[in-house]
Amino acid sequence: MPQINSENKFLLNIKNLMTYFFIPEGTVKAVDDVSFHVNEAEIVGLVGESGCGKSVTALSILGLIPWPPGRIVDGQIIFQGEDLRKIGPQKLREIRGNKISMIFQEPMTSLNPVYTLGRQIAEVYIEHQASPKKEALERAKDMLDKLGIPSPSKRVYEYPHNLSGGMRQRVMIAMALACNPELILADEPTTALDVTIQAQILELMAELHQAVSTSILLITHNLGIVAEYAQRAIVMYSGKIVEEALVGPMFEEPLHPYTIGLLSSIPKLGAKATGGKKRLSEIPGMVPNLNDLPQGCYFHPRCARTRAICQSEEPELIEIDSGRRIACWAVTDGWA
Amino acid sequence: MSNSDNHLLAVQGLKKYFPIKKGMFRRTVGWVQAVDDISLYVSKGEALGLVGESGCGKSTLGKCIVKLLEPTEGKILYAGEDIWSMGSTQIKSYRRKVQAIFQDPYSSLNPRMSVGGIVGEPLKVHSLHTSFEQKLKVNNLLKKVGISPDYTSRYPHELSGGQRQRIGIARALALQPELIICDEPVSALDVSVQAQVINLLDDLKEEFKLSYLFIAHDLSVVEHVSDRIAVMYLGKIVEVAKDTELYSNPLHPYTKALLSAIPIPEPRRKKKRTILQGEVPSPINPPSGCRFHTRCPETKEICFQNEPPMKIMTPQHYVACFNYL
C-alpha cells in the first residue's frame, strides 16, 4: 500500500529505532533512537567502531534480534511504505531474502556446511519464487556464473569448505542477489578477506549496483571503503548517530569531533612520501561500555572540545544543512 | 647484500616446509612451502615492514626468527651468529634480546595470571632482579605503555583489547630487547585504538633504540611504522624498498596491485584500480616459474618457466620480476 507523501519516497525509512538488550547487568541500549533513510538506488555507508550498534541496526531491520535478551523497544522501520514491525511474521518472511537481503561478515559461519552450494542458493528460489527444484538449480548456476565463479555447473555440487574465503563471499552475494532485492544489507562484507580479494568483491558489488540499481546499506568500520563506494555516510557512536552527510563533505570537512578523530587516526597511504612522517593523531581513552554510558554526550570523556553542557545534556541530532545532520553542542551552538 | 656489519638480524636463504601427512602410517605425501628461500636483514634501530596477504608465510618467518619453529634450510644470523648453532647460554641471551608481540591480545595473555605476573614473568625466568626490584620494574613498564600501575593485580579479562595489547608490549619490553618481532600487532584493534598503539610503538622505538620486524597485512599501517618494507607473496619476497620509495615508485606488479587495492578515505581522489584476477594459489603446489604469474597482468612467456632472481635496482630497492631484467 504505497502512499504518496513526502516521507514515503524513501525506500527505507527508519524512525526512532530503539533496540535494547536486557542482560543481568542491566539494559544495553545497543541502538538508541536512531533515525535515517535509504533512497532508491543508493549506497549508504554506516560506519563506526565495534559495539557502536551498526550490526544491530541491520539485524533490527530484518527482525533478526534474538529474544531473549534483545528486543526492538520502539520505533518504525518503514520499507516501501509499510512498517516492518507491524506486518507480522508471515509477511516479514516474504520480504526477507526477497526484497531485503543480507550479506554477513563471516561467510563460513553463515553458509550451511552440510548442504551443497547449489542447494543453498536454489533454496532461495524455491522458497520465494516457488521455482521447481530443477529450475532453481539452473538459476543457481546462472547466478554463480554471473558472479565470476569458474565452472559453476561443477561448483553447485560442492560444499562451502571446498571454497576459499573470497569464493564463499561470492556465494553469499549470489544468495543475496537471487531474488533481485530492492535493498541489500551488507554487514562488513569484506572484513574477513585479503585486500586484493576485497577489491574484487567491492568492485563486483559496485557493478551489480550499477546494473540492477539495488540500494545497499554498507556497514563497515573501514572509512576508505565508504569513501570510495558510498554516496552518503552515517557515523555511529555508542548506539547513536553522531553525524550524517554526503560522502564528499563528510570526508573533506567532517564536523563531529569523533568523525574528525577517526579520520585523522588512520594512517594514510603515501602520507610519508608527500609530507614527511607525521604522528598519528589519536582519540584518547576507549569506547565506553554500553551498559555504563557517561552522562550527557557519550563522546565527551574522549572529546577535546568538551564543555560543561556536554557533561550534562545529550546533544540532539540536528539537520544543519540539507542532508547533513550532526549531534554535537560545539557545532550546533557554534562554539569558536 | 650491502654492508653487513650493522645488520642486527640477517636471514639467509631461509626455507620452512611443513610436511603433509596422510594415511594410516602418516606418510609424508607433500610439503607446504610456507617460506621458500627468503633473505633479508634488519639493521640496528630500523623498522622493517613485512606485508603480504594471508598464507604468504609472513608469520612463519616471524616464528622462525623467535625460535618457535625450526627452519628446513637456511640461516638466521643475529649479530653475526647463527641462532641455530648457539650454546645454551647464548640462546638464553638471544631470547632476552629478541622479543615478540602477537596479533591476538586475547589469546596471547594467560587468563589465570595477573597483569603484574604477566609483565614480570620474563624478569623472573631470567632471574634478573630481586623480587622488590622486579615489582618496581613492572610498575615502570606499565607506566611506559600508558597503563596505571594500579592494574598490576587485575586479570586480562578485565581489560579492553587495546589495554591487553599494551600489556603484551610491556611484557616484550621487560628484558630490554634490541629487536621486537611484531606480528600483526594492531589488526585486532579498533581504528581509534589502533592509532594509540602505533604511536606507542613509534615512541618506544625512539626511546629504547629498538629495531622492529613489523609483520602486517595492512600496507598503510606498515608504511607508517616502517623505514623499509618487504613485500611477500606465496613464500617469497618480491620487492624490498624504502617506505617512501615503495609508495612512489612500486616496481613489482604485485606491489602495484596491492597499493591500488587499498580503499582510501578521500572521495575526490579517483584512482585507476588494478584488480587482480583469481586468488593466491596454494603453497602446497605453487605455480612454476614466477609464483605470481597466474594473477599477474604483465605476464611474459619467461615467467611461466623461470623463477625471477632478486635484482638490485638501487642499493635500497630490490625487486624479483622479469620486467626489470
Domain hosting residue B179, numbered range: 7-324
Question: Has residue B1 been placed in a domain?
Answer: no
Does B20 touch chain A if contact means CB atoms closer than 8 Å?
Answer: no
CB contact under 8 A, A196 and B160: no
Judging contacts by C-beta atoms under 8 Å, the chain B residues touching residue A283 are: 192, 195-196
State yes or no: pLDDT of B3 exceeds 70: no
Question: Has residue B2 been placed in a domain?
Answer: no
Please provide the DSSP assignment of A31-60 as one string. EEEEEEEE-TT-EEEEE--TTSSHHHHHHH
Cβ atoms of residues B190 and A50 within 8 Å: yes
Bridge pairing between strands B236-242 and B228-233:
antiparallel
**Tens digits of residue pLDDT in B183-205:** 988 888 888 888 888 999 999 99
Cα nearest neighbour of A286 on chain B: B193
Q: How many Å separate Cα B172 from the centre of its chain?
A: 15
Does B281 touch chain A if contact means CB atoms closer than 8 Å?
Answer: no
Q: For residue A3, what pLDDT is reported? A: 43
Total structural domains within chain B? 1
Does A20 touch chain B if contact means CB atoms closer than 8 Å?
Answer: no
For residues A139-154, give the mean pLDDT: 85
Q: Which residue has the cell 595489547?
A: B165
Whole-Å CA distances, B142 to B7, B109, B120, B122, B275 = 30, 15, 10, 14, 44
Question: Has residue B16 been placed in a domain?
Answer: yes
Cα nearest neighbour of A193 on chain B: B54
Going along B129-235, which residue ranges are E strands?
Answer: 179-183, 211-216, 228-233
Q: For residue B75, what pLDDT is reported? A: 92
**Tens digits of residue pLDDT in A41-81:** 899 999 988 888 888 999 999 988 888 888 999 999 999 98
Q: For residue A8, what pLDDT is reported? A: 55
User: How confident is residue B263, by pLDDT bands cut at 50, 70 and 90?
Assistant: confident
Taking alpha carbons only, the member of A272, A281, A271, A203 closest to residue B265 is: A271
Cβ atoms of residues B101 and B168 within 8 Å: yes
Bridge pairing between strands A232-237 and A240-246:
antiparallel
Does B54 touch chain A if contact means CB atoms closer than 8 Å?
Answer: yes
Q: For residue B107, what pLDDT is reported? A: 86
3-state SS, residue B133: helix
Taking alpha carbons only, the member of B297, B244, B300, B307 closest to residue B274 is: B297
d(CA A98, nearest CA chain B) in Å? 30
Judging contacts by C-beta atoms under 8 Å, the chain A residues touching residue B265 are: 223-224, 226-227, 251, 263, 266, 268
Going along B184-292, which residue ranges are E strands?
Answer: 211-216, 228-233, 236-242
Judging contacts by C-beta atoms under 8 Å, the chain B residues touching residue A203 are: 273, 275
For residues B268-291, give the mean pLDDT: 82
Q: For residue A2, what pLDDT is reported? A: 44
User: How confident is residue B158, by pLDDT bands cut at 50, 70 and 90?
Assistant: confident
Cα nearest neighbour of A247 on chain B: B267
For residue B243, the domain's CATH number is 3.40.50.300
Does A207 touch chain B if contact means CB atoms closer than 8 Å?
Answer: no
**Tens digits of residue pLDDT in A166-221:** 888 888 888 888 888 999 999 988 887 888 888 888 888 888 888 888 899 999 98
**Tens digits of residue pLDDT in A253-269:** 999 999 999 998 888 88
State yes or no: pLDDT of B2 exceeds 70: no
d(CA B154, nearest CA chain A) in Å? 18
d(CA A16, nearest CA chain B) in Å? 27
User: How confident is residue B99, by pLDDT bands cut at 50, 70 and 90?
Assistant: very high
For residues A262-279, give the mean pLDDT: 78
State yes or no: pLDDT of B217 exceeds 60: yes
